[in-house]
């Protein structure tokens, strides 16, 4: 068998190539630039390329390696960031015109840690404005497209990152996940995406959407890569008050331990008509595979999950309405000229924010207003507690929980933009996880027989048990073998 072209190799394999001297970081970066030039016209995944900066970083990495001073095994492997991570001297927009041409004076902790590990910054990727959306169609600049079928969305909100990784354009990329924005695009693009336990990765320098839900997560072509990238950035950060003190595991350790004897829960409430038949078929196959790998499957009931969407779409907008108050035309981005400060403020916001952002600010402000607070925000918080309790109860019986990541495969551009509710329903299997703060990841489980598009299996773990989650995902991925086969790659 001929080895796969450079651009399809997982980052950890590329790192081994650098280490063995088969490849330099500059050669790799040049190959990435060529591949991006080829695929970008089809997928429109970048908001900003930083080719020159990446090449300079690559040359520095090669020089370190030549002196025997590689900083980490990943020194010299470029990484792309969703354009919601602030990057010093590189414009950061959060996908919104309201931050157009804003150049941050500092790096997010995720960026700082990956840079300290030697990874050159390779561009900023497209997203739904302020990460509000499930398709990248709410980007203030342009939608991105799915490399499996450019007439379809890559999912969202981290759609640019997912499309690039799936297209073999960048080895790996960072996204953020508030209600599913790493896992859902990973599923729709046929790659791996992980959302860690809330607090495992610092939110410092991640433009805030809903602070009690936001987490950073890796988008990669292999489970091992996701473990490596997440482990690089995880760990306590005093600049984020919600950062967990002791959670900095090296998830590569014990990755291959397998799942023999693990108890895995299948969500009773998610079994029925809720998903596309092809998604159900692939996910059912996945359950069978987990059983053959030695896991013991049993049904678990999570009755509160059916209320997760309404609870999430009150809590997230409530937090967003507060977080987005800072875009006032004074502190960041462009300013509209007006006769007084209130008019300036409102003109700047009216022009700068997109329709979905305005909708969320209105929902959030309403839900928090005196007289309605208990009926909406208060009730949603109670549902949140029920979800936490349901999961706690389930995790007394099982080690992990599995379900589809998304109820459908990638949908067509324009199909859901006129109907916000249909867009929100894309997140039905992912939002309960953010409300509970537990870790979850999406791992590819093949293509749907009804449309040939990728399907993702979601694996949910108890708080801070990323290790078990990654072991299960790895065992599943290795046994399926889909990702390394031609079948696991879009024809682009
Ligand atoms: N699609 C969800 C929303 O629109 C989740 C977004 C996210 O995780 N950032 O809020």
Residue of 312, 318, 427 to test ligand 1 pocket, by largest number of atoms within 8 Å of CB: 427
- Residue closest via CA to ligand 1's atom 4 equals 133
Please enumerate in sequence order all residues whose Cβ is within 8 A of that of 414, keeping only pairs 6 or more positions apart, or say none: 137
- What is the reported pLDDT for 212? 98
135: annotated active-site residue: no
Please enumerate in sequence order all residues whose Cβ is within 8 A of that of 251, keeping only pairs 6 or more positions apart, or say none: 227, 228, 230, 231, 466, 467, 470
Q: How far is CA 490 from the centre of its chain?
A: 20
3-state secondary structure of 473: helix
Distance CA 250, CA 224 (A): 11
Element (H, E) at 216: strand 215-220
3-state secondary structure of 48: strand
Please enumerate in sequence order all residues whose Cβ is within 8 A of that of 246, keeping only pairs 6 or more positions apart, or say none: 236
Report yes or no: 207 and 92 within 8 Å, Cβ to Cβ: yes
Residue of 139, 216, 316, 428 to test ligand 1 pocket, by largest number of atoms within 8 Å of CB: 316
Q: Is 364 in the pocket of ligand 1 (CB under 6 A)?
A: no
Catalytic residue from among 96, 134, 157, 426: 157
124 token code pair: 């900023």
- What is the reported pLDDT for 272? 72
Question: Distance between the two ends of the chain, CA-based, in angstroms?
Answer: 21
- What is the reported pLDDT for 483? 86
Mean pLDDT per 10-residue interval, the chain, length 492 residues: 78 97 97 98 98 98 97 98 98 97 97 98 98 98 98 98 98 98 98 98 98 98 98 97 89 97 95 88 97 98 96 98 96 91 96 97 95 93 98 98 98 95 93 98 97 98 97 98 91 90
In sequence order, what DSSP letters do the residues of 182-208 get, joined into one string?
THHHHHHHTSEEEEPPTTSB--TTBPP
Q: Is 275 in the pocket of ligand 1 (CB under 6 A)?
A: no
- What is the reported pLDDT for 359? 97
Distance CA 452, CA 179 (A): 26
Q: Is 188 in the pocket of ligand 1 (CB under 6 A)?
A: no
Query: Beta-carbon neighbour count of residue 245 at 10 Å?
Result: 9
Residue 313 CA, closest ligand 1 atom number: 10
195: annotated active-site residue: no
Q: Is 132 in the pocket of ligand 1 (CB under 6 A)?
A: yes
- For residue 176, the CA-to-ligand 1 centroid distance in Å is 9
- For residue 16, the CA-to-ligand 1 centroid distance in Å is 35
Residue 434 CA, closest ligand 1 atom number: 8
- For residue 132, the CA-to-ligand 1 centroid distance in Å is 5
- For residue 480, the CA-to-ligand 1 centroid distance in Å is 29
pTM: 0.98
Residue-range domains of the chain with CATH: 6-262 (3.90.1300.10), 325-381 (no CATH)
């Amino acid at each position: 068998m001929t080895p796969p072209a450079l651009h399809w190799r997982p980052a950890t394999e590329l790192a081994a190539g650098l280490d063995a001297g088969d490849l330099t970081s500059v050669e790799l970066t040049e190959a990435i630039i060529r591949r991006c030039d080829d695929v970008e016209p089809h997928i429109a995944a970048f908001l900003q390329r930083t080719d020159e900066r990446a090449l300079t970083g690559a040359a520095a990495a090669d020089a370190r390696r030549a002196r025997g001073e590689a900083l980490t095994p990943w020194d010299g492997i470029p990484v792309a960031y969703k354009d919601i991570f602030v990057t010093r001297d590189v414009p950061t927009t959060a996908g919104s015109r309201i931050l157009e041409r804003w150049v941050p004076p500092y790096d997010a902790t995720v960026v700082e840690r990956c840079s300290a590990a030697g990874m050159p910054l390779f561009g900023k990727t497209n997203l739904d404005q302020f990460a509000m959306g499930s398709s990248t169609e709410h980007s203030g600049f342009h939608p991105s497209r799915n490399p499996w079928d450019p007439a379809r969305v890559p999912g969202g909100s981290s759609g640019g990152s997912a499309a690039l990784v799936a297209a073999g354009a960048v080895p790996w990329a960072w996204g953020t996940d508030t209600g599913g924005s790493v896992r859902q695009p990973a599923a729709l693009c046929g790659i791996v995406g992980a959302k860690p336990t809330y607090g495992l990765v610092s939110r410092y320098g991640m433009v805030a959407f809903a602070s009690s839900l936001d987490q950073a997560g890796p988008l990669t072509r292999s489970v091992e890569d996701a473990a490596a990238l997440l482990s690089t950035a995880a760990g306590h950060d005093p600049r984020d008050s919600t950062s967990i003190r002791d959670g900095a595991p090296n998830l590569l350790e014990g990755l291959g331990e397998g799942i023999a004897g693990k108890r895995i829960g299948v969500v009773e409430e998610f079994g029925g008509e809720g998903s596309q038949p092809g998604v159900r078929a692939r996910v059912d196959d996945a359950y069978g595979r987990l059983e053959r790998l030695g896991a013991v499957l049993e049904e678990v009931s999570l009755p509160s999950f059916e209320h997760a969407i309404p609870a999430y779409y009150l809590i997230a907008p409530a937090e967003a309405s507060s977080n987005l108050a800072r875009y006032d035309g004074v502190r960041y981005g462009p300013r509209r000229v007006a006769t007084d400060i209130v008019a300036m403020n409102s003109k700047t916001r009216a022009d700068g924010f997109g329709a979905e952002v305005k909708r969320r600010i209105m929902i959030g402000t309403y839900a928090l207003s005196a007289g309605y607070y208990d009926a909406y925000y208060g009730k949603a918080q109670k549902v949140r507690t029920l979800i936490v309790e349901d999961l706690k109860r389930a995790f007394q019986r099982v080690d992990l929980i599995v379900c589809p990541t998304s109820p459908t495969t990638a949908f067509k551009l324009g199909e859901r933009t006129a109907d916000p509710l249909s867009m929100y329903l894309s997140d039905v299997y992912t939002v309960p996880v953010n409300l509970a703060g537990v870790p979850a990841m999406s791992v590819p489980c093949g293509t749907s027989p009804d449309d040939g598009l990728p399907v993702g299996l979601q694996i949910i773990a108890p708080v801070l048990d990323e290790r078990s989650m990654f072991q299960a995902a790895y065992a599943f991925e290795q046994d399926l073998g889909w990702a390394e086969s031609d079948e696991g790659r879009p024809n682009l």
